[in-house]
Amino acid sequence: MKEQLEQIKRNALASLEAAATPAALEELRVKLLGKKGELTAVLKQMGKLSPEERPVMGQLANSVRASIETKLEERKSAIHAAALEAKLAAEAIDVTIPGKAVPLGHQHPMNQVLQQIKDIFVGLGYQVVDGPEVELASYNFTRLNIEEGHPSRDRSDTFYFDDGDTVLLRTQTSPMQIRFMENHKPPFCMLAPGRVFRKDEADATHSPMFHQIEGLVVDEHITMGDLKGALITMMQGIYGTESAMRFRPHHFPFTEPSCEMDMQCHKCHGTGEINGQVCSTCHGEGWIELLGAGMVHPEVLKNCGIDPEKYSGFAFGMGLERMAMGRLKINDLRLIFDNDVRFLNQF
């Protein structure tokens, strides 16, 4: 019997050593230690032994069982560790492989120019504000001194929402003058960039939606000289100190006196022609109109509860797309809105 037990032990340890999977181990456990297992079969024969031999064999049988159990546990953890090792190796991420680059966009060229303009005016102490694109006719026209029947109020030019023509898509950023003056007491300097809308067919210089930047300064003793100083500072900041510009008298209902400011055409350099042909960018004028401006009309100040005897102010409204076209030497307005990356990538 002793021989039998030792044989069982040797065989068991050898086959446990050879088992490579948890399933194989389990099969062996049943075969070796289970109720119908080899060891149990031997133990059943204990009854046949003499009383002296029984405890000796019992002890030996127990030590064989203990060795098998220890080996079983050992193999179990070894197999488990090996499996884990293999899994980790298979799932390993190589952090040294270069990543896939996600193409990074950049600010739209028009917004780059807007940012430059804002920076200049913020440097001059202006506050930048935002306002609604859906506007009341009273703000867009009436309180800006634009009377009923004025051509700019015409349904052929303006997108109205109602039959009574009281709600519209703002045609200019000038209503921001009224909105700002309603809520602020002078002195103040404000800048209001935003989208405006007009019933225009799109061509090289027109679009039914475009951007304006409104400016408004009100204080005691503000003069046309302050207006020119602010606009020249802005122009030189954007186009450089060599840039040629001119002021022309004009008429706007909400300023008195009023003017327009032009810059020299960046395409033909003011000559109005290129290789004997009329310059298509300025239509032969040699100049490109950039903005309207003037001294705020006393009626407009009164409409906002500001005393025109004590305060005066200037205002301006410029076309952002025109500014960007000049700054970036773009010849067709539609390129700005097409969002073709081949175009955008150039800036």
Q: Write out the residues near ligand DAH by the rule CB under 6 A.
A: 172, 174, 214, 252, 255, 292-294, 315-317
Alpha carbon distance 167, 136 (integer Å): 5
Residue 245: in which H helix or E strand, if any? strand 245-252
Q: Which residue's CB is nearer to ligand DAH, number 139 or number 252?
A: 252
Q: Which residue's CB is nearer to ligand DAH, number 172 or number 303?
A: 172
Q: Which residue's CB is nearer to ligand DAH, number 73 or number 182?
A: 182
* In the complex, minimum distance from the CB of residue 181 to ligand DAH, in angstroms, rounded to a whole number: 12
Q: Give the residue carrying structure tokens 């103040």.
A: 188
Radius of gyration for the alpha carbons in the chain, expressed in angstroms and rounded: 44
Q: Which residue's CB is nearer to ligand DAH, number 172 or number 264?
A: 172
Query: Cα–Cα distances in Å, from 39 out to 13, 18, 63, 82?
Result: 13, 20, 11, 29
Q: Which residue's CB is nearer to ligand DAH, number 28 or number 176?
A: 176
* In the complex, minimum distance from the CB of residue 240 to ligand DAH, in angstroms, rounded to a whole number: 25
* In the complex, minimum distance from the CB of residue 316 to ligand DAH, in angstroms, rounded to a whole number: 5
Query: Cα–Cα distances in Å, from 133 out to 164, 171, 172, 173, 184?
Result: 18, 9, 9, 9, 21
Q: Which residue's CB is nearer to ligand DAH, number 114 or number 315?
A: 315
CB 237 within 8 A of CB 113: no
* In the complex, minimum distance from the CB of residue 345 to ligand DAH, in angstroms, rounded to a whole number: 32
Per-position DSSP letters for 186-215, written without gaps between them: SSEEEEEEEEEE------SS--SEEEEEEE
Query: Cα–Cα distances in Å, from 49 out to 38, 44, 59, 64, 66?
Result: 18, 11, 14, 18, 22
* In the complex, minimum distance from the CB of residue 261 to ligand DAH, in angstroms, rounded to a whole number: 10
* In the complex, minimum distance from the CB of residue 197 to ligand DAH, in angstroms, rounded to a whole number: 11
